[in-house]
Amino acid sequence: MAKGDYGKRNFFIRYFLVIKCLRNRKKATFNEIREFIAAETAILDKEFIYEIRTFQRDLNDIRCLFGIDIKINRLTHEYTIVESETDHFNTRILESFDIFNLLSSSQDFSQYISLERKCKQGTEYLHGLLYAINNRFKVSVLYKKYYEQNAEKCELLPLALKEFKARWYLIAARGSYTTIRTYALDRIQKLIIQPEKYIRPQSFDVNVFFKDCFGIIRPEDDDPYEIILSFDPFQGNYLKSYPLHTSQEILIDNNKEFRIKLFVFITYDLMMELLSFGNTVRIHSPLKLKKEIRKMTM
């Protein structure tokens, strides 16, 4: 086979298949990876010869590009992906690969896959905003609050991006840093990156800022509360795999009750979440949360 027969985009297919192979099998020798890739690319009607030297170069590239570390076990000669539990980025990248692979398949699977019909999410602004945040450029956005008729032009100092419930938000300040607000990307109608720079407050860390928040609201004039909630054991299983918040601690877990403790602000987001559990949740404390929920349901 002549070199380069399969074009320039091939390296991307290789990276993806290497990652896919190692995810499926957990571990594989180079020959197994080579065979896996040969089998996966057989439909391309071109022999895909994968040289060990290329593979070794690819490992380096995968590490640099995606931060996915692949190590070899020198006893068994098997390669594995080094999964670091703290790194959410890796998991998300691998998940995105799965979806990408599914949606970009040349076959028409539309009769087998039911996709959620999403409105435009504003994800096209992610790259531009990240660029502005990283290089400390001011931005001006045309922003339409969902409860207002007209869009409003605002000049913002972009600080961070945040994801919540499959939506993306811009965390930004206005002129001074006295108020930091959250802007939903799907409500941005236009984004202009300004040539002017701003000085980023050194103390701002998005993960610290939202540490005690459930969702995207951080009250300015309140403190987080210790919140005790009871669920039925069935909901408990769900909450064990998908904790409500990083502060979640299990207090009781038996066949009658699943009780947890959270340390978060009492916000609209939190109350909506609790209401979505219907009568399977019971609020033990604090009193403030009980009252607020009662107010909403009356």
Partner DNA sequence: CGCCGATCGCCCGCTTTCTA
Partner DNA sequence: TAGAAAGCGGGCGATCGGCG
Chain residues binding DNA by CB under 7 A are 2-4, 7-8, 10-11, 14, 30, 49-54, 56-57, 59-60, 72, 74-75, 77
Least distance in angstroms from the C-beta of 48 to DNA: 9
Least distance in angstroms from the C-beta of 1 to DNA: 9
Q: What are phi and psi of 244, to 5 degrees?
A: -65, -35
Pick 84 or 179: Cβ nearer DNA: 84
Least distance in angstroms from the C-beta of 52 to DNA: 7
Pick 34 or 138: Cβ nearer DNA: 34
Least distance in angstroms from the C-beta of 63 to DNA: 9
Pick 42 or 49: Cβ nearer DNA: 49
Least distance in angstroms from the C-beta of 39 to DNA: 17
> How far is Cα 174 from Cα 155, in angstroms, rounded to an integer?
7
Pick 82 or 272: Cβ nearer DNA: 82
Least distance in angstroms from the C-beta of 102 to DNA: 24
Can you spell out the DSSP letters for the chain? --TTTT-TTHHHHHHHHHHHHHHHHSEEEHHHHHHHHHHHTGGGTS-----HHHHHHHHHHHHHHH--EEEEETTTTEEEEE--TT-HHHHHHHHHHHHHHHHT-SS--TTT-----PPP--GGGHHHHHHHHHHTEEEEEEE--TTSSS-EEEEEEEEEEEEETTEEEEEEEESEEEEEEEEEGGGEEEEEEEEEE-PPPTT--HHHHTTT-SSS---SS---EEEEEEE-HHHHHHHHHS-SSTT-EEEEESSS-EEEEEEE---HHHHHHHHHTGGGEEEEE-HHHHHHHHHHH-
Pick 62 or 132: Cβ nearer DNA: 62
Pick 10 or 235: Cβ nearer DNA: 10
Least distance in angstroms from the C-beta of 36 to DNA: 16
Least distance in angstroms from the C-beta of 16 to DNA: 13
Pick 75 or 119: Cβ nearer DNA: 75
The owner of tokens 């340390």 is: 263
Q: Are strands 249-253 and 225-231 parallel, antiparallel or unpaired?
A: unpaired
Pick 51 or 83: Cβ nearer DNA: 51
Structure tokens at 167: 């939506």
